[in-house]
Amino acid sequence: MMDTVGKAFVKELASVYVEGGEVFIYQVETQSDNPLFSDFYIVTFSGDGRIIVGGAGRNIILALKNAEINWDRIADEFEGVRNNPFREAIEIISNINIMDLTSGATIKEVDEVDVGDGKVVVYEVKSDNYDLDLSDLYIATFLGTVGKEVWGAGDSPKSALKNAERVWDIVNPDYNNPFREAIEMLNEEDNNVLLNY
């Protein structure tokens, strides 16, 4: 495992009020001459007194769509939220309020796994201050022949990998899933730090 640390700029772009809470949309821009990954978007849901990372993507709609898919896995954890908040946010996105809240973030590599034609890398994203309503999160990236891209986000390295695995299956159903391969390899290792977060 490497201790690569980079910097990113996190900007809250919008918030959407939905049944049972609020969906927040963030843009993450790398601040490095040699970026760890491409810029991406994160969407979160705040409700029931807690905040969860819903999904990530290279644009706002993709991040919301990924979160919409991931919601089915965690919906039972939120009492009183009958509808998928990310689906609701997609429907009303034309009415979002653009906000100008920014914060720095520190990026740290948590683990990497060589798979097939590339490498799966999980990063921790820690906010440098708490001006934004964004908790620390993890992102799962794939570094391959087509470049570096964020495929999943979550509250733990494991949830980021599982979310990336689901998104890959939807976007690239005809290709081997590097995230599934990474999860299998990490599960075979004894006392793996990544999956015990």
The CA–CA distances, whole Å, from 162 to 58, 151, 181, 184, 193 equal: 18, 10, 11, 11, 16
Whether residue 54 contacts residue 69, with contact meaning beta carbons closer than 8 Å, is answered with: no
Which residues share a beta bridge with 82? Answer: none
Full-model pTM: 0.60
Consecutive 10-residue averages of pLDDT for the chain (197 residues): 67 84 87 73 86 86 88 76 85 62 72 87 78 73 79 87 88 87 81 49
Whether residue 43 contacts residue 24, with contact meaning beta carbons closer than 8 Å, is answered with: yes
What pLDDT was estimated at residue 197? Answer: 45
Instruction: Show me where the domains of the chain are located.
Output: 5-196
Q: What angle do CA 138, 161, 19 make, to 5 degrees?
A: 70
